[in-house]
Structure 1
Amino acid sequence: MYTTKIPLVSKNEICTPERMEGFDLEPLIAYDRLMGNDYETLHCLLRAFNPNKVIEVGTHLGRGTKVICDAVAAEATVYSVELFESLAHLVSVHPMERTGERAKGRYTQFWADEIGRIDYYPKSDLPMSAVWFIDGEHSYSSVMRDTERAVTSNAPLIIYHDFKKEGVATAVVNTLPERYELWCVENTRMGFAFHGREPKGFTLTVIAMGNLEHYELGD
């Protein structure tokens, strides 16, 4: 287990004016404040780390995919993974014919072959050292499996959406190795973990330390 205490950082420290410059959320999503906070955080974390490869788990309509594509450099490669089409009837929230409709043309789509054993693409094709955004099936086992795969690929940054859903924070805490530094972002549903050298200008101030149980209750 990584830790039972998770530091909380202010969203304003992640979403600095410099990282937010030129970013207009409203054309990207049907705006609501909490979702806006989440996607602004995703955008600014990507701006801070400036990756050349990003893997998203959970395409859905492509809102997050669109935010990713707009945040990274034009030459960066973005992959997104969704449930396999023949299994879509098992998950009512996935309108498969609309997968990725908000982000067409800028990323590569992959399909998971089955819910219980997600093999996104051949292991030899797994991009190493890509940043991961995990927003797929929010069960303990799925989040654990996605985290393990991200860690195995030596992801310098792993970003989690719906970090406060039951089972998600526990799966992350129980799976991350000690070399990763795990944080939760204030007034959002976002968590992130990174290892290695921090990007220039990327500083984090602890404003609180939350027990794991606090996150599991969704507070």
Structure 2
Amino acid sequence: MTDPRHHKESAPVLATTDSGEPVIVYDPAAARQWLLDGAAAEYGIDDTFSTVELSIVARLEELLAALGYDAVAGVWTIRLPLTNVLIWRTADGDGVDGCGIVTADLTINGQAIRLATRHQGFDGFTQHSETSGIEAAVEALGHVAGLVNTEADLLRAALTPKGVYTVLGVWQEDKAIPVGVIAGRHEVTGGDDSDDEQGLWALAVEAPDVDTAERAAIEEMHAG
């Protein structure tokens, strides 16, 4: 089993996109200490907790249940609208295959929503198959947190109203520089580009706000 006391720490799992705050903040260092202080023994996190034993998904059920009830402050912080995280074991024709699907329960505008991740392979929860025990649990919880944050961000982006903005700009040293944004889709003509050898540009984009419209326009101009 990998010695958890000599592990190079990874950063906490934070936001996965710029669309908002993460719904789970996970601290791997706090999780490791929690497991070392007795949780590993309580939930069967030993050498048999590993990819090769097909045991990770099964025992993650208990870990997620414990963390969901705020068993340890600072290890696994859930933020609204997320209310619960579950993992569901799957099976192949021969029985348990060590794989699973993670679900996230959210409440938005009073409506209960359940998001489900894509099917997760038995070898997807740790970076290396030989990792076992506490280190495997620390990595597996981080994997679940990242999955849920990503799905929540995608839902948030899909529900964010978008408008149309026309972004005006100039080219300077091969860089698209925005100089103004107008709400709505507008046909832009004329203009004096005599002081700018590379010329002026205008682009209509869909975005939830002015700042996002500017960034989207810059990216599209450079990509084009």
Bucket of the pairwise TM-score, normalised by the shorter protein: under 0.3
Q: Which has the larger radius of gyration?
A: 2
**By percentage of residues, which structure has more strand?**
2
TM-score after normalising by structure 1: 0.25
